[in-house]
Structure 1
Amino acid sequence: MSKPIVRRTLFSLGAAALIAGAVTVAPAGAYAAGVAGADGASKDGAVSIVFTNDVHCAIDQQVDKDGNVTGIGYAGVAAYANAQKGLYGAGNVTLVDAGDAIQGGPVGTLTKGSALVQIMNAVGYDYAIPGNHEFDYGMDQFNALVKQAGATYLSCNFTKLNADGSKASVFAPFAIEAYKDADVAADDADGVLKVAYVGISTPETLTKSSPANFQDAAGNYIYGFCQDETGEALYAAVQSAVDEARAQGADYVVAVGHLGIEGTTSRWTSEAVIKHTAGIDALIDGHSHEAYDKTVGSEGAAGAIQALANSDGDKVVLVQTGTKLANVGNLVIDADEADGQDVTAQLVPASECKDEDAAVKRVVDQVNGELADVLNKVVGKTDVALTIVDADGVRQVRHHETNMGDLVADAYRAAVGADIALANGGGVRASIAAGDITNNDLLSVQPYGNELCLIEATGQEILDALEMGASNAPEEFGGFLQVSGLSYKIDASIPSSVKTDENGNFVSVDGERRVFDVKVGGQAIDATKTYKVASHGYMLLEGGDGLTMFKDNKVLQENVILDNQALINYITNDLKGVVGERYANATGEGRITYATKPAAVNFKDVSSTDWFAGVVSQAAAKGLLVGYSDSNGVHTGYFGSYDKMTRAQVVTVLYRIAGAETPGEKPGVNKTPFTDVEDGAYYTNAINWAYETGRIAGYQAKDGGPSTAFGPNDPVTREQLAVFVWRAAGEPAASDEVGYLACKDAGDESSYATAALKWAASAGVLTGSSEADGLYLRPAATAQRCQGAKVFVIAQPLLRDAEQ
């Protein structure tokens, strides 16, 4: 096995890339020198693998108002690859793409991907992996594009069902490239450096492209991606390819995968594949639009370059460039590197890729010229910026409402006269700045050309769809639903209970729902009522993003209009050509909100409108604070929200969080020296536990001697409550003092409580109470049971982590 490592240098990315780790960049003004060495000298004998992923039709160089290059463009990729050939020799440079190149922009939509393949051929790609969006134009067009491509497509897990029921690989699982001019290790048997490129496609392709593309006329799946409910089928396919490549003499194995990490099904991530296989030296990744280097099982230092451990404990370099050519990647194999660092990687940011290859630029310009008249036509204007991202460039449309999401959903509903419209966040692809709106803008927002339809659906089916869409919230999910004619709330503190099959398709909701307060036209949704629902066929008819609950519903209108044309019509006709004040708020009109789910009315003294209803409900559901019982142990139905929280109650809840007791456990005999702890009291076992584990010491005697009193029925103050929880958590330091210092009475607490209050405020466990002139900690105020419910619901996962 090789000894891969990635050089330790930091970089910055544009807002479009999600930064999940640190990767290297080349030095300013001389990107080639960062690979060749500090002196810029050539690297004879080493191999350079130039890579891209998730280009999504970003064919042109992009420059900001200050003249900084923010998107490399394909002519820039070609220039960088040519520079590498000058350093390493033309025979020692290979160019690969990790998928999702041909869809995501107007040039792809209008040419069904053909123009992208034409440009990639001009750049000179050697290998390509089919990402999920390579299939968006249908299987026939995909096959035509593969024939058109100069690159060799690889995938070890893309299969087709034969007539006899057996499965056959659609593409070769790997290809071995022999680098005759490259150096080899001293013990190399044949004296030729051989690198195997193993292709891996995400099994999510079945739901993140149109499912119909992979089915026969009867709706049966005839294509697959080694998907199952455990991930083992994918791991086995990858391992088989790696083993065969090694058997055929590969000295190194570079996996080129469209897998991703963030927002990806956990068993199919690049991390999971590495962790469950052996023999891969590096994995060039795609799909999740991140730029990263990650480590399985190790946090590592902030900003450090890290590598992943595989199933044998060997290190594997994992790299991904982000999206839309914010970076270009370079993986270097140097078999005779003296220090053993034979596999290294770096990302070169767009700001360091100003050069463009003239020949490729001519091809790009020709494509743009042929489409210019259509794309540049102004169809309206917007007085407000319409966005799909937040201030940090994160794709908010995939987990929160945005004004662009509202606009798209409104356009769907208007196009077919529906009660409700649903738009998957993953299909809303671009923001639009204030000013003129062109066809190019709207085709960028809706590049897939899906056709709208109208169906009948029950309220229950709509509820299931919303639950599926919110299943990963607040993390990204392409199936997150932007809505029109409907509003809903999400309680992300409730674990998703959505069940899916091996293909990622919705099966059922088997537990508490996260989505609540769903309203249609301002009225509570009726689960038994039938509503008219608009969206595109990808979702309603084909079960895209796993939303299969509508597939067999009555279709009222089918193939009505392209989604992007519906958007054009809505702006032109319904909005009279101007997107105005209604869409001014970047986070939308409040159709989708995150909130605590109100308590079911389980307690006679808790109303669903009380601020604490949700946390009391959760505290009761988790068995932390369960309300009062009579002398016979029968629940009275009262919680006592405003009653004082006692020392015994606090210790009892901590006992329950530690997993040592559940409500109803038979109280035992007092085993402590505290004379005021009664045998058989509800708190006795808890105080025994707390004393034995050193969590409490009781009140100090006046003479300074051992404690003989605990004060189980004494009320606790807010600062004492914070100290109890802080000590149970292991007395952690506060992550910051912002929340603490925001309170006007910060510093008024007892000195012993300061560290606890700072931690509690930073962790959100105990925040200031809001009053007319600001926030107050009120450290000396008696803690109420409703306040305790909030503290313990928030603190529970922190305390469980401390226990482990």
Structure 2
Amino acid sequence: MKKKLILAFLLSSILLQLPLGSGGAVCAETAAAGKVSFLYFNDGHEINPVVDKLGTRGGVARIKTLVDSVKGDKIVAFGGDLGGGTLFGGVFKGLPMVEAFNRIPIDLANFGQHDFDAGTANTLELIKAAKFTWVSSNLIGKDGKPFGNVPHYQIYEKQGIRIGVIGLTSAMDTTTQDENVKQSDVIESAKAAVEKLKKEQKPDLIVALTQEPVQDDKLLMQAVPDIRVVFTEEEAEEKSFVYDFDGTGKRYIFSPQGNMGSIIRLNIGKAADGQVTLTNEILKSDETVKEDDQLAALAKEYQSKLEQELSKTIAVSESDLIYGDNHESRFKETAIGDLIADAYRDYYQTDIAVANGGGIRSSAAKGNFTLKDAKSILPFGNKIVVTEVTGDMVAAALETSVSAVDKLAGGFLQVSSGTSYTYNPTKPAGQRIEQVTINGKPLNKQQKYKLALSNFMYTGGDKYTMFGQAKTVVGANEALTDVELLVAYAKKIGTIRVKAEGRIIVKGFADIPSDHWAVKEIYELNRLGIFGGVDDARYAPNQMVTRGEVIDYLAKALTLDQKTVLSQSGLNGLNPKEPLTREEMALMMKWTYETRTGNKLGSTEASPFADDALIADDAKAAVTGLAKQGLLNGRPGNLFVPKDKATRAEISHVIWTLLNL
């Protein structure tokens, strides 16, 4: 269980996107005097470059080119997740990536939780196939030793600098687990590994490769001061991040771009006084990087194998099966979720079947439905087991399902035909389910039901811990995988005709829970018909809002026509389709305040915000006057950020505040 530590200081993030650098394979011998390059990349689900709305990035052939371009002594490290999680990973289970990494070559790798998606036996095959070293400081095998008998740490000595590396993995509850692997506490394991490393190797620099969120990395660095550098998992597909942990340039957290979109290059030197020095840059693996010919051929070969296997048509779909750009399957009913849950129930003939929304990873277009579509939708290959459960267990599972919908948690449950439930996100977690029916009857908490679900959830994944006393009817050894059941069902029905039919009812907005800072204002404005959601279950509180939309909301709130609001609110002459900035929001608020109260609002003094100098001259009086009246708040760090886009939640808050003057 992660420790809850409170950081007493603000940690700044700096996005670096620097020109292309250089790379290469590690040498065990000491080279000429100079620096050592530590090259790190992560998130290797796809052997080919990823092409999407963000552009082109990644691919093993480009990573090879970048590594080869760095001359001199270097250590090449991969941070984890080379199997599972995508269609390619689901079909080939990581082995092609190991083959490619052997050819780059890399020196060491940490485990990501997706490296266990195909089970521990497959992970052991990945270890066996690797010519590089896997390292883990907190994953323990059944025998009490590090999983797969990999080392607790690795030590490198180059240019007279001793560099120790540890590996840490979290979120193992989101992958396939069995008794052969156990996740130990990250921070306690790090402390033990660091002490062992210091005692046995006396390193000049300690580096941690982690698979956990950056906020947890910050807690790790606070708890283990001997760790100077953390290379962690991706925070975003489009950006790389460099965090100067304490603002001194001596301790860093590095998060490269997702899908191998970049390599972090850390240059490690040693000053005359023995102090280790660090500098860094980002090497982007985009379309400007020439692909290595041999690895490009390897990637093409595997892509061809993938296409041959997956191109067969198994059914025809009368409509698009949409996963959703906003992860809809993680907070409301979707047609694709209905289809999957129905496939499980149909095969096993159970009372209920559920599918976790986080396991649905892709959409499928109208028309021919192929094996490729099925495997893209369900790439993890989870076993679907059958268990006999009580109604109490079902109720507890549904509460868990909706406990973190505002965070788009993957455990949200899509349900099969015959089952329905209603949840209210404005209630506290654990009290959100309001109504459940099974086969047209209210859920009976004492009755026994047959339930089909993934073995991942049945064994406690995604916090589904309520099935400990349930009776196993079809266990994992006999069960088929989720994609096998989906394929079988699609073949059986021939024509896929599905649409959301009211199995899941959301009373409110899934992303506005009871503890949201603007919950009262949002729901009151929605009740009055002034400000609605972006769809039937989502408010999108952090989404920007256009000037035209704000004019419409204000006109409704003040019962004025839009022309009057536009001409008098300070927004006249501005493009109504452009986002409203926070300083424009202040001008709008000032006009509304004066209109409703008849009092003039303004001040010649500086605003109370630390970035007062950035506020436009024509907005300063509004910002200062509103702040003095307690009507306008800043953002964290006592900043007003005047040029930032105002959010839907912020606009809801200010309109409600002004309506209640």
SS in structure 2 at match of 1:749: helix
Structure 1 equivalent of residue 229 of structure 2: 282
* Aligned with 2:204 (options 229, 244, 251): 251
User: Which whole-Å CA distance do the structure 2 matches of 1:437 and 1:736 have between them?
Assistant: 50
CA distance in 2, matches of 1:342, 1:398: 45
Task: Find the counterpart in structure 1 of residue 166 from structure 2.
Answer: 198
Q: Is 1:440 the counterpart of 2:372 in the alignment?
A: yes
Q: 2:17 maps to which residue?
A: 25
1:513 to 431, 435, 438: 431
State the percentage of identical aligned residues.
24
AA at the equivalent of 2:101: M
Letter paired with 2:489: Y
Cα distance in 2 for partners of 1:527, 1:753 equals 61
Contact kept? 2:354, 2:453, Cα under 8 Å: yes
Q: Give per-residue Cα distances to partners, 1:684-715, cap 9 Å, x unaligned.
A: xxxxxxxxxxxxxxxxxxxxxxxxxxxxxxxx
**CA 291–34 in structure 1, closer or farther in 2 if over 3 Å, else same:** farther
Provide, for residues 391-413 of structure 1, a one-character-per-residue CA deviation record: whole Å limited to 9, x for no partner: 5xxx5544555444343333323
2:296 corresponds, among 347, 354, 361, to 361
Query: Alpha carbons of 1:317 and 1:389: their partners in 2 closer, same or farther (altered >3 Å)?
Result: farther
Match of 2:47 in 1: 59
Contact preservation (8 Å) 2:22, 2:66: no
Superposition pairs for residues 138-153 of structure 1, below 5 Å? 138-153=119-134
CA distance in 2, matches of 1:123, 1:454: 44
- The alignment status of 1:329 with 2:281, answered yes or no, reads no
User: What is the identity, as a one-letter code, of the residue corresponding to 1:209?
Assistant: T
Alignment match of 1:208 (pick from 174, 186, 209): 174
Q: Which blocks of at least 5 consecutive residues in structure 1 are unaligned?
A: 1-19, 36-42, 181-191, 216-222, 228-233, 263-268, 295-304, 497-511, 598-613, 620-717, 720-733, 770-776, 781-804
**What SS does structure 2 have at the residue aligned with 1:351?**
coil
Partners of 1:562 and 1:363 in 2: CA distance: 29
Aligned to 1:225: 183
Give the conservation status (yes or no) of the 8 Å contact 2:187–2:220: yes
**1:750 maps onto 2:638 in alignment:** no
Contact 1:48 1:330 in 2 (8 A): yes
Q: TM-score, normalised by structure 2?
A: 0.70
Counterparts in 2 of 1:167 and 1:124: CA distance versus 1, 3 Å: closer
CA shift digits 1:170-203 (9 cap, x unpaired): 42121111223xxxxxxxxxxx12221111122x
Q: Is the 2:146–2:152 contact (alpha carbons within 8 Å) kept by the matching residues of 1?
A: no
Residues 197 and 256, structure 1, Cα contact 8 Å, conserved in 2? yes
Could you tell me which amino acid in structure 1 is paired with residue 290 of structure 2? D
Correspondent of 2:251 among 288, 311, 316: 316
Matching of residues 107-186 of structure 1 within 5 Å: 107-160=88-141, 162=143, 170-180=149-159
CA contact (8 A) 1:291 1:322 kept: yes
Q: 2:308 aligns with which of 373, 380, 393?
A: 373
Distance 2:583 2:435 in 1: 35
Amino acid at match of 2:96: A
Superposed displacement of residue 322, structure 1: 4.4
Tell me the CA shift for residue 254 of structure 1: 1.5
**2: CA distance, partners of 1:471 / 1:429:** 21
1:379-430 Cα shifts (integer Å, max 9, x gaps): 3455654444535xxx554455544434333332333333332212332222
Shift of 1:562: 2.1
Q: C-alpha separation between the residues in 1 aligned to 2:250 and 2:502?
A: 48
Question: Matches of 1:523 and 1:386 in 2, distance apart?
Answer: 29
Counterpart CA distance in 2 for 1:495 and 1:753 is 42
2:400–2:464: 8 Å Cα contact kept in structure 1? yes
Counterpart among 456, 473, 479 of residue 538 in structure 1: 456
The CA deviation string for residues 480-510 of structure 1, in whole angstroms up to 9 with x for no partner, is 32333444444445453xxxxxxxxxxxxxx
Mapped partners of 2:334, 2:87: distance in 1: 22
Distance 1:347 1:424, change over 3 A: farther
Q: How many residues align?
A: 533
Q: State the one-letter code of the partner of 1:171.
A: V
In structure 2, do the counterparts of structure 1 residues 742 and 481 end up closer, same or farther at CA, with 3 Å as the change threshold?
Answer: farther
How much does 1:750 deviate? 0.4
Alpha-carbon distance in 1 for matches of 2:460, 2:583: 45
Q: Is the 8 A contact 2:401 2:413 kept in 1?
A: yes
Q: CA deviation at 1:130?
A: 1.5
Does structure 1 retain, via aligned residues, the 8 Å contact 2:23–2:68? no
What TM-score do you get using the length of structure 1 for normalisation? 0.58
Q: CA offset at residue 149 of structure 1?
A: 0.5
Question: Quick check: 2:140–2:182 contact (8 Å CA) kept in 1?
Answer: yes
Q: Tell whether the 8 Å contact from 2:237 to 2:261 is kept in structure 1 after alignment.
A: no
Give, in angstroms, the shift of residue 259 of structure 1: 1.6
Q: Counterpart amino acid of 2:183?
A: F
Tell me the equivalent position of 2:608.
none
Aligned to 1:471: 403
Q: Is the 8 A contact 2:48 2:60 kept in 1?
A: yes
User: 2: CA distance between counterparts of 1:592 and 1:93?
Assistant: 55
How far apart in 2 are the matches of 1:376 and 1:97?
32
Which position in structure 2 is the counterpart of 1:422? 354
Distance in 2 of aligned mates of 1:353 and 1:466: 48
- Which residues in structure 2 correspond to 1:515-594 (within 5 Å)? 515-520=433-438, 524-540=442-458, 542-558=459-475, 559-574=478-493, 576-578=494-496, 582=499, 591=504, 593=506
Alpha-carbon distance, 1:371 to partner: 3.8
CA distance in 1, matches of 2:109, 2:246: 25
Aligned residue for 2:206, secondary structure, equals: strand
User: Does the CA contact (< 8 Å) of 2:83 and 2:117 recur in 1?
Assistant: no
How many Å separate the matches in 2 of 1:523 and 1:757? 52
Instruction: Specify which of 56, 61, 66 is matched with residue 80 of structure 1.
Output: 66
Quick check: which has more Rg, 1 or 2?
1
Q: In 2, Cα distance between the equivalents of 1:556 and 1:308?
A: 51
1:420-458: CA deviations, max 9, x gaps?
A: 322123322223345544322321221222222333322
From 62, 66, 70, the equivalent of 2:56 is 70
Deviation per CA, 1:279-307: give whole Å up to 9, x if none.
1121111276677788xxxxxxxxxx642
Please tell me whether the aligned partners of residues 240 and 262 of structure 2 are also in contact (alpha carbons under 8 angstroms). no
Amino acid at match of 1:351: D
Residues 746-785 of structure 1 aligned to structure 2 (within 5 Å): 748-752=595-599, 755=626, 759=632, 762=650, 764-765=652-653, 767=655
CA distance in structure 2 between the aligned counterparts of 1:596 and 1:615, rounded to whole angstroms: 12
Check conservation: 2:236, 2:257, Cα contact below 8 A. yes
